[in-house]
Amino acid sequence: MSFASRQGLPGARLRTALVLGVMALGIAGCSTTPSAPPEPPPPPVVPTLPPGFPPQDIVGSWGLAAYHREEDRVRTEANAAGQCKQPYVITLGPTGGVMMHLADQSTPTELRLKGAPGGKTFIGPDGDPPGSQQDREVVQFDGRVLILRWMDPEVQGRYGNMIYVRCAPEGAKKKPAAKPRKPAAKPKPAAAPKPAAR
């Protein structure tokens, strides 16, 4: 064997060793189980602030209806007002909340009014932060009309926006429409005096 070919052997062995080493690393990398993606950080806790109004403000009897599309809101409000023959009644709970139904529940539960940043108010179970899955956001409240939106998208998709219209207090009767008055009779013109007999 010549000197040149003896010089080439160690280089070939080195290249072969490097190739085998890289292949071994590649195979080892394939055999490891992929690591699970890191868990997303928990959502920030929204601080509970005083609500926009006290619970006493929504206690009473309400006509109730629901709508999905904003263009149906005015018509639905009129429908809700017509439901006062069978009103939805909201009462105060034993610990200062309000008694209302959660989604798909047949009996009312005591719920809390919870304020949140941005002037928002939610109604939902005590202990959950504002805007939790079982909460409803107060979309509008002016004393006469209360509109609530479910925070759970699946429930919101089924029920839509709940619109409550306050019923007149018991015993309050609607004033009958005033009857138009008949115009006063015009006075008859005075008869001309008869000539005196001669």
Partners of 89 in the β-ladder: 61
Distances (CA, A) of 21 to 33, 34, 135, 186: 21, 22, 60, 122
Over residues 64-87, the mean pLDDT reads: 96
Q: Which residues contact 45 (CB under 8 A, 6 or more apart)?
A: 129
pLDDT at 77: 96
- pLDDT surpassing 50 at residue 4: no
| Mean pLDDT, the chain, integer | 81
> How deeply is 72 buried, as exposed, middle or buried, from its count of CB atoms within 10 A (0-12, 13-18, 19+)?
middle
- Whole-angstrom Cα distance, residue 66 to residue 77? 9
What are residue 50's phi and psi, to 5 degrees?
A: -60, 140
- pLDDT surpassing 90 at residue 39: no
> Are 146 and 90 in contact, with CB atoms under 8 Å apart?
no
- Whole-angstrom Cα distance, residue 141 to residue 54? 12
pLDDT at 37: 67
With CA atoms as reference, report the closest residue to 164 among 130, 141, 137.
141
pLDDT at 173: 54
With CA atoms as reference, report the closest residue to 55 among 7, 99, 109.
99
- Whole-angstrom Cα distance, residue 101 to residue 90? 9
pLDDT band, very low/low/confident/very high, at 3 (cuts 50, 70, 90) = very low
In degrees, rounded to 5, the angle at the alpha carbon of residue 158 between the alpha carbons of residues 152 and 159 is 85
Give the residue with greater pLDDT, 116 vs 39: 116
Give the residue with greater pLDDT, 117 vs 190: 117
> Are 123 and 60 in contact, with CB atoms under 8 Å apart?
no
- pLDDT surpassing 80 at residue 87: yes
Token readout for 75 is 């018509």
Q: Which of 140-144, 157-161, 186-190 has the lowest mean pLDDT?
A: 186-190
Buried/exposed 159-176: b ≥16 CB within 10 Å, e otherwise = bbbbbbbbbeeeeeeeee
- Whole-angstrom Cα distance, residue 112 to residue 89? 16
- pLDDT surpassing 60 at residue 8: no
Over residues 105-130, the mean pLDDT reads: 95
pLDDT band, very low/low/confident/very high, at 182 (cuts 50, 70, 90) = low
Annotated domain spans of the chain: 55-166
- Separation of CA 74 from chain center: 18
Flag whether the pTM goes above 0.85.
no
pLDDT at 169: 83
- pLDDT surpassing 80 at residue 114: yes
